[in-house]
Structure 1
Amino acid sequence: MMKTRYIALMAMSLVFVACNTEEDFDRTEEVAEIPELTAGSADFSTYVSLGNSLTAGYTDNALFIAGQENSMPNLLAAKFSLVGGGAFTQPLANDNIGGLLVGGAQLEGFKPRLVFGGAGPVDLEEVVGPISPTTDIVLNNPSGPFNNLGVPGAKSFHLLAPGYGNIANLEAQLANPFFVRMTGSTPDARILELALAQSPTFFTLWAGNNDVLGYATSGGDGTNPITDQATFDVAISTLVTSLTGNGAKGVMANIPYVTSIPHFTTVPHNPLDPTNPDFGPQIPTLNTIFGTLNQIYTALGETDRIVTFSETEASAVVILDENLTDLSAQIAGALNANPGFPLFVQQFGLPSEAAPIVANLLGVTYGQTRQATEEDLLVLPSSKIIGTVNTDSVAFLMSQGLPMEIAGQFSVEGISMPLADKWVLTPEEQAEISTAIDNFNATIAAAASGAGLAFVDANAIMQDLANGGVTDGDFTLSANLVTGGAFSLDGVHPTARGYALLANEFMKAIDATYESNFEASGSLYNIGDFPTNYSPSLR
C-alpha cells in the first residue's frame, strides 16, 4: 500500500517535469545588478567647500556641533570617502548650545539656538532657563586647516577680503567672528587663500545668498544693501578662476528666491484676531481714530491707505511704506483746520490745547502708512513684535507732552504704530530682490558652464519645496515652518534632513557632469535617517 502511493507520486512528478519545457525553466526574473560606486572623472582626494551659513551647517539660527556634523559638505565628504576622498575637517563649535563669546562675554547678536516651544520657535533659554555658550573666539578656537570654509554671514566678495578673520577688525564690523575662529596664526588670510593652500582636487562653491538675503531679512530698510552687480561678477569670476586654476573640478549652486523660504512666508499679513482680549476690545476706539484719518485719505484721493479693523474677521497690520508719498503735512493741516478736532482730542483725556501737537504727531506717524496686503511679506521675527508696545515710541510721545497711558495706546506695533520697514518686504522691495537674484544667478550659471563645473539649481529646488514639496524616498519635504521638515526654526536654513536632501542633489549633479554614479549605485542618503529638529536638552 505504501509502495503504491510512492509510485503514484513519482509518476505524477514525471508528468509535471515533462510538461515543463526548457523555456519554462529559463523564466526566472532578472535582478538588476547595482553597479559599484565610482568617482568617474572626479578626484575627491582633497575636497574643500566654500560658502556661507548654508555650507557651514548653520541651523535653528545658530552654529553648533550637531548642525555642523550634518552640514551638506560633511555629508558629501562622507560619500566621497568611499571613492578616494580624504579627511574632511570642520571648525566645530565647542557645544550644541550655539551662540558666541568674546573673552567670556556673549557677543551681541549671536545667541543660543532656537528650539520648538510647543507652538513655534522660541529661544533655547525660554525652555531650559539661563544658559551660556562656551564657544569663545578669543579663548578656544580650533586648529586648521579646515576643509569646510563656509562662513555664516559671508557675502561673495568676503571670500576674497583680507582681514575678514582678524579679531582686531571686529569692532569696526570689518571681520566676521565665525571666520576669526578659522584663521589661526594668519588672521589676515582670505577665505579663498585658505582653500587654495590645501591644493584642492574638488570643491563646492555655494556663494551669493547673503549678497541678497541680508537686504531681505532686514526688510529692505537699507541697513544691509544688495551687492552691486559689478562687485558680484568680479567675486564669482575670481573664485572660479582661482579654484579651477590647477585643474580642480567642482560644483556650484545658485541663489533661491526669498519667497520660497518660510522666513518670509510664515507670518500672515492679517494676524490681528478680534477674539484676542488684548486687541478685540480696542477695535471700536481704533476705528474711531483711524476714521478721522480715513476721511482725510478719502479727500486726498488716497483710499488705498484707509485703515479699518474688523470685529469679526482677522485684520491686516498697519505698516510703514516708504514708497508712498509722504502726506504728513496734509494730514496735520487738515486736522488743525478742523474745528471739531480739539473736541476729538479731549475724549482721550487731553486738553484742547494739545490739538496742534496731536495733529502733528498723527501726521508724522501716518504720513506713509497703509494696511498690509497679501502682496506684502512679513519677516519671521515680526511675529514676536506685532501687538507689543514700543517703549522708544512711548518715551518719545511722553516727551511731546502725552501722558504715559495715551503714549502707550499709540505705540502698539502693527496696530496704532505702523510696523517699521525692517519688518516688511513690500512688493517694490521684492521686485528689487528678484531682479538682483536673477542677475546674480545668470552670473553663477555662466561661470559654472564656462568652467565645465557641475551645477545645482538650488533656486528651483527651493521653489519646489514651496510649491507642493519635494519627495525623496519615502519622505516629502515642504517649506512649511516646523511641519515641513526641510527648513529649520529660523525659516532660512535647512534642517539636517534638508541638508541631506541638498547633498543628494549635489551628488546627482556630480553624476551628470563627471560620470560618477552616486545615484545609480544606491549611494544617495536616505533623508529619513536625519532629524528635523534637535532636543532642547542637547548640549
Structure 2
Amino acid sequence: MKTRWAALTIVVSVMLQTAPVAADPPRADLSRLVVVGDSLSAGFQNFSLLDRQQVHGYASLVATQARVRLRLPLIADPGIPAVLALVSPGPPPVIVPEPGTSTGRVDPTVQATNLAVPGAAVQDALALRPGCAFDEATLVDVLTDFVLGLPGCLVNSTRSQVEWAEALRPTTVLVWIGNNDTLGAALAADASLVTPATAFKRAYAEMMRRLAATGTRLVVANIPDVTVIPYLTSAETLAASLGLPLSTIGPVLGLVPGDFVIPDAVPLIQPILTGQAHGPLPASVVLAALEVRKIRAATADFNAFIAAQAARHDAALVDIHALLDRLSRRGIVVGGQRLTTAFLGGLFSLDGVHPTNTGYAIIANEFIRALDEEFRVGIRPVSVADVKAEDPLVLPEEDRPATSMGHVVPDQGAALRRLMIRNQP
C-alpha cells in the first residue's frame, strides 16, 4: 500500500510540474502613445478644435492618468472653427460663436502624437495627407493641415494618420475611428450617405494590419448609435416638448413614431402648427424611422467587423456603443446630480454631437478599463466627479432649459454637416 501511495504521489507531482501554466496577459507599454481617430479622439467640442478643450479629450486624460506624454496639436483661441459659447441656457438657449479668428497651431514645431483629425473617416486615416495651404476649401482639409501638416509642411514632408503612426514607432495606439462613416448620414437625414460596407471593411482591415505590423499594442473602440446624440430630436421628445400628443402633431408635421428631426426643422415647426405655413416638414429635415433602421443596421455590421479585427490583432476592445446606450437610457449620477444625453444634460457640448469635459472623462475611463482588462496596465481611473465640478457645461438643475427645441442653431448644424460630409455644399 505504501508503495502504491508513493507511486501515486510521484505521478501527481510530475503532472503538476508538467501541466501548462496559464500565461499572464501581455502588458502594454504606453511610453510612446499614439492616437488615430476623428473629432472624438481629437478632443473636439462646442464645434471647435481649441487648446483649452483639447486637453480635456479622452485620449489626453488617458495619457495623464498613465503618466505618459501625449503631444497635442494645440490650436489657439478662438479655435477652428470659432468655439461656441453659451450666453444663456434659456429656454431657448442662446448660443453664439466667440469672435475672432485663430492663428492656428500654438506651436507649429510640435510633432503631434495625437493624430486624430476632426471629420476623418476610416479611409481618410489611411490616405488623407495635408495639402499645406492652411486655407483649404473644406474644413476637414483645413484641420488636416493644422493637425498633420506641422511641422511636416515646413520641410516638405506630409503623411496621413496611419503613415505618421507607422513613422512614430508607437508602443501603444488608441484607435477610435469610423464614427463619421455613419454620422454624416444622420446629420443629413439621409441613410444613403453611410459608407458602403465593403469600402469600410477594406479600409478598416488595412488600417489595422498596418498598425499591427509596427509591433504596437492596439486599443480600438467601436461606433455608437448616432441617435443618442442631442443633435437629433425624436418625434416623441418633440411632442413632449410641445405638450401635445404625437398622434396630434404627427399628421400635421409628417412625423411617425421612430422618426427624428435635425435642427433645420426647428424654425419650421411653429409656423406649420399655427397655420402660417403648410406641412408636412420637408423630408430633408426628417430622419425617418426607416432611415434610422438602415443606419443602425450598418452600425451593427461595422461594429461586428471592428470586434473581429480587434480579436484578430489581439487588441483591447472598448465598447462605446454599449456605454452610450446605457447613458441614453439611464443617464449617470455624478456628485449627486443625474447627467443625461439630452441637450445641456451635462454629457454633450453645445454642438449636440461632441462630449463635454465630463462626457470625455467617462469615455476615458472606458478606455482605461479596457486597457487594464486586456493588458494589466494598472492605470487609475479619472475622477469624473472632479471633472464635473469644474465643467462649465454641467449646469445646476435650476438652469436646465425646459425644452430641447432650438438647441442647435440651423447654421451650426449646416456647418457640422460640411465637416462630417465631404460633398456637402
Q: TM-score range by the shorter chain?
A: 0.7 to 0.9
1:374 aligns with 2:260: no
In structure 1, C-alpha distance between the alignment counterparts of 2:162 and 2:201, rounded to whole Å: 16
1:232 aligns with 2:89: no
Structure 1 position 473, deviation (Å):
7.6
Q: Deviations over 1:399-423 (max 9, x none)?
A: xxxxxxxxxx99x6xx525433332
The residue aligned with 1:448 is 310
Matches within 5 A, 1:127-276: 131-136=99-104, 142-167=108-133, 170-171=136-137, 173=138, 176-182=141-147, 183-184=149-150, 185=153, 186=156, 188-220=158-190, 225-265=193-233, 268-270=237-239
Pairing partner for 2:51 from 54, 65, 88: 65
Does the C-alpha gap of structure 1 residues 161 and 385 become closer, same or farther in structure 2, counting only changes over 3 Å?
A: farther
SS at match of 1:124: strand
Structure 2, unaligned stretches of length 5 or more? 1-24, 395-425
Kept in 2: contact 1:269–1:373 (CA 8 A): no
Letter matched to residue 113 of structure 1:
L
The residue aligned with 1:386 is 269
Greater helix share, structure number: 2
Structure 1 position 316, deviation (Å):
4.0
Q: Deviations over 1:317-362 (max 9, x none)?
A: 855xxxxxxxxxxxxxxxxxxxxxxxxxxxxxxxxxxxxxxxxxxx
Structure 1 position 55, deviation (Å):
0.6
In structure 1, C-alpha distance between the alignment counterparts of 2:169 and 2:196, rounded to whole Å: 31
SS at match of 1:149: coil
Kept in 2: contact 1:49–1:150 (CA 8 A): yes
In structure 2, C-alpha distance between the alignment counterparts of 1:272 and 1:241, rounded to whole Å: 48
Does the C-alpha gap of structure 1 residues 241 and 472 become closer, same or farther in structure 2, counting only changes over 3 Å?
A: farther
In structure 1, C-alpha distance between the alignment counterparts of 2:316 and 2:140, rounded to whole Å: 31
Structure 1 position 123, deviation (Å):
2.8
The residue aligned with 1:397 is none
In structure 2, C-alpha distance between the alignment counterparts of 1:488 and 1:388, rounded to whole Å: 28
Letter matched to residue 216 of structure 1:
A
Aligned-residue identity in percent? 29
In structure 1, C-alpha distance between the alignment counterparts of 2:350 and 2:324, rounded to whole Å: 16
Q: Deviations over 1:97-139 (max 9, x none)?
A: 33x3xxxxxxxxx4431425222543335xxxx71232448xx
Letter matched to residue 145 of structure 2:
V
In structure 1, C-alpha distance between the alignment counterparts of 2:371 and 2:241, rounded to whole Å: 48
Structure 1, unaligned stretches of length 5 or more? 1-38, 101-109, 275-308, 320-370, 390-408
Structure 1 position 382, deviation (Å):
3.2
In structure 2, C-alpha distance between the alignment counterparts of 1:74 and 1:180, rounded to whole Å: 21
SS at match of 1:200: coil
The residue aligned with 2:95 is 123
Kept in 2: contact 1:64–1:93 (CA 8 A): yes
**What is the aligned residue count?**
359
The residue aligned with 1:493 is 354
Structure 1 position 372, deviation (Å):
1.1
Pairing partner for 1:525 from 373, 382, 388: 382
Kept in 2: contact 1:256–1:460 (CA 8 A): yes
1:424 aligns with 2:289: no
Matches within 5 A, 1:305-384: 315-316=249-250, 318-319=252-253, 371-384=254-267
Kept in 2: contact 1:121–1:489 (CA 8 A): no
Kept in 1: contact 2:74–2:107 (CA 8 A): no
In structure 2, C-alpha distance between the alignment counterparts of 1:316 and 1:490, rounded to whole Å: 26
Letter matched to residue 228 of structure 1:
P
Letter matched to residue 487 of structure 1:
F
Structure 1 position 265, deviation (Å):
3.4
In structure 2, C-alpha distance between the alignment counterparts of 1:122 and 1:40, rounded to whole Å: 50
In structure 2, C-alpha distance between the alignment counterparts of 1:62 and 1:266, rounded to whole Å: 26
Q: Deviations over 1:140-161 (max 9, x none)?
A: 7733311111111111101112
In structure 2, C-alpha distance between the alignment counterparts of 1:67 and 1:532, rounded to whole Å: 11
Letter matched to residue 278 of structure 2:
S
Does the C-alpha gap of structure 1 residues 166 and 227 become closer, same or farther in structure 2, counting only changes over 3 Å?
A: farther
Does the C-alpha gap of structure 1 residues 79 and 165 become closer, same or farther in structure 2, counting only changes over 3 Å?
A: farther
Q: Deviations over 1:81-108 (max 9, x none)?
A: 2xxx3x211111101x33x3xxxxxxxx
Kept in 2: contact 1:261–1:462 (CA 8 A): no
Pairing partner for 2:72 from 84, 87, 90: 90
Larger radius of gyration: 1
Does the C-alpha gap of structure 1 residues 226 and 42 become closer, same or farther in structure 2, counting only changes over 3 Å?
A: same
Pairing partner for 2:29 from 16, 21, 43: 43
In structure 2, C-alpha distance between the alignment counterparts of 1:239 and 1:146, rounded to whole Å: 19
Structure 1 position 429, deviation (Å):
0.7
Does the C-alpha gap of structure 1 residues 147 and 163 become closer, same or farther in structure 2, counting only changes over 3 Å?
A: closer
Normalising by structure 1, what TM-score?
0.61
Normalising by structure 2, what TM-score?
0.76
SS at match of 2:249: coil
Structure 1 position 460, deviation (Å):
0.4
The residue aligned with 1:360 is none
Does the C-alpha gap of structure 1 residues 162 and 62 become closer, same or farther in structure 2, counting only changes over 3 Å?
A: closer
Q: Deviations over 1:469-524 (max 9, x none)?
A: 245686653212213x2211222211101111111111110111012223xxxx21
In structure 2, C-alpha distance between the alignment counterparts of 1:388 and 1:214, rounded to whole Å: 28
In structure 1, C-alpha distance between the alignment counterparts of 2:84 and 2:173, rounded to whole Å: 29
Structure 1 position 236, deviation (Å):
1.2
The residue aligned with 1:301 is none
SS at match of 2:83: coil
In structure 1, C-alpha distance between the alignment counterparts of 2:120 and 2:289, rounded to whole Å: 26
Structure 1 position 432, deviation (Å):
1.2
Letter matched to residue 299 of structure 2:
I
